[in-house]
Structure formats: structure tokens, C-alpha cells
Amino acid sequence: MKQFLLIKWLCFVSLVGVFGLTKASAQLEWEELEWSIEPKTEIIWQDQRSNQFDILKEPARFAKVEGRMGMELGMQYEKTATVSWLGYVTGNEWENKKYSRFREAYLGHEWTELGLEVSLGRRIIRQGTGYIARPTSLLEGQVRRQDPDDHWGALLGSDMLFLQWFKEDSTFSFAVTDSDKNRNPRERPDVVFRYETLWGDADFAVVAGLPDPAFGFAWANVFGEGLELHADILAQRGTTRAYHQVTQENSEPTLYTDYPYVSPWEDSGRFFCIVC
């Protein structure tokens, strides 16, 4: 509830910020204010497999048909104030739902002469080198596995204070967030440092997180005309459950269980690596 209030407040501040800027500045460039309305429809048909192995002992298959209809509204002013809202109604054989979320709502400022940018609010930050799996992308929310490029717009931002410092060939970023409150698919650190640079011709990144220590590397390069290699490696202290997709995608009650997640795994207290 508190989080919802915070987001509402940030959205309000962003809106006030945008309109405040538009009213206050005599040299306002209206073309910098961008609005977007994007209607969305989708019908999904998929064979699903229940993965509640501990209850059913064996996987059960069932088909799922689901339809969605909605729209995304976006507003952005000079990349410093952004609000993006997604709402839709969805239904399948068993239930109908209404969905409404602010995907992004943040205010920021950029010191162009320094290449420094700071923002506060809910923001989508995707890092890492892989197309689908990116263990070192520690600030990223949950992506639908069926839509890794997020055409539907299901990816939600994380509430954070975010700083980026751009140099000619490298970027340093720093984020403070409350990972428990973000809609992340696994446990994440609250404070994240990332340094990205070019190592020879390759993309290279070092990432570190606190308070539960996390440390990783990301690397990508191309060879010849068509070979592309990506590598993300993260070592993190935490629980094993976080790295197995055991819940249903929307974490809602499903046909086979009335609670979204059964956790036979406890905190391991050990370090382990995730590699993609």
C-alpha cells in the first residue's frame, strides 16, 4: 500500500514537473513534449505445464487461451520527465481481470557538460548483454518469457534513485532501490554498481550489488560476419528458489493450486553462479 502511495506520489510529481516546466519556461520547446497512445490487443493460445511437482508428483498439461485488450499512454519531456501507464482487461476460460500499472514515472536531470544523469522514480533499466537471459541486469523487472523483447509492454520499472555517468567509451551507473518492493522475478540487491566499457573491441561490464553481496561480469563481441557471442556471469549470495521459475507468470492462483508459490527451497546461505 505504501509502495502504491509512493508510486502515485512520484507520478503526481512527474506530472507536476512536466506541466511546471511547460508553464514556467518561456522558451519552452513544445516539440520536446512527446505524447503517445498505443492500443494493444493480443490473443494467446499456449500449452502449459504445471510445475508444482511437489504437489502433483508429475507435470500436468493443459491448454490456455487468453485475450487481452488495452492501451499504453506515455508522456515524456526532454527525456527528463517520463510517465508511462499501461491498462488492459484480460480474460481466459476461468477469470477476467483488469490491470492498471504505471510502468514508468520518474523525474531526472542531466548535466550535459559532465555527461551525468540523475533520476528518481520508477524506471525501466535493462542491462546485460544477452537477448533473453541477463543475470547481471540487476535492476530489471520481470519479463514475460513468451515476449522477451517486451512488445506487449509487460515489463514494469523499479522504484529507484539512479545515477549514470557517461564517458567517451564507458559508463558508470549506481542505483539505490528497495528490491523487495520491486516486481523482480528473483531476489536482488538494493544497491547496485555497474561499470561498462569497451575492452578492445568487446563490450565488457563489471557489476556489484549490496547488502547481500553479488558480483558479476558481462561480455559480448562479434566474430567474422555473423557470429555473435554474449556472456553474463553473476555470483550471488541468496536463495536457490529465486533462480527457478516456479511460479506462474502472473503469480496468480492457477487451476491446480490456490497459492502461487510452494517453496520447498529455503535460504541456502551459499554463493552460487548464474551463467548465460
Contact 205, 129 (CB under 8 A): yes
Dihedral angle, C-alpha 118, 120, 124, 127, nearest 10 °: 40
* 264 lines the binding site for another protein (CB under 8 A): no
12 in Cβ contact with 5 (< 8 Å) = no
Determine how many CB atoms are found less than 10 A away from the CB of residue 105. Answer: 25
Interface of this chain with another protein, residues 9 to 48, rule: CB under 8 A: none
> Minimum Å distance from CB 230 to another protein?
8
Q: Is the dihedral of CA 5, 9, 14, 16 positive or negative?
A: positive
Whichever of 24 and 227 has its CB closer to another protein, that residue is 227
Nearer to another protein, 224 or 269 (CB): 224
Q: Which three cell numbers stand for residue 136?
A: 547481471
201 binds another protein (CB under 8 A): yes
Smallest gap from Cβ 187 to another protein, in A, equals: 22
Among the residue ranges 11-19, 92-100, 145-153, 179-187, the one whose residues contact another protein (CB under 8 A): 145-153
Residue showing cell 560476419 = 225
Shortest Cβ 29–another protein spacing (Å): 16
Helix (H, G, I), strand (E, B) or coil at 219: strand
Asked whether position 110 contacts another protein by CB under 8 A, the answer is yes
- Residue 269 lies near another protein (rule: CB under 8 A): no
CB 82 within 8 A of CB 106: yes
The set of cell numbers assigned to 112 is: 550535459
Judged by CB under 8 A, does residue 115 bind another protein?
A: yes
Q: Which region among 87-95, 165-173, 181-189, 260-268 touches another protein (by CB under 8 A)?
A: 165-173
Sign for the pseudo-dihedral over CA of 48, 103, 139, 97? negative
Residue list 208-227, contact with another protein (CB under 8 A): 220-222, 224-227
- Binding residues (CB under 8 A) for another protein: these are 79, 110, 112, 115, 117, 124-129, 131, 149-151, 153, 155, 164, 166-171, 196, 198, 200-201, 203, 220-222, 224-228, 230
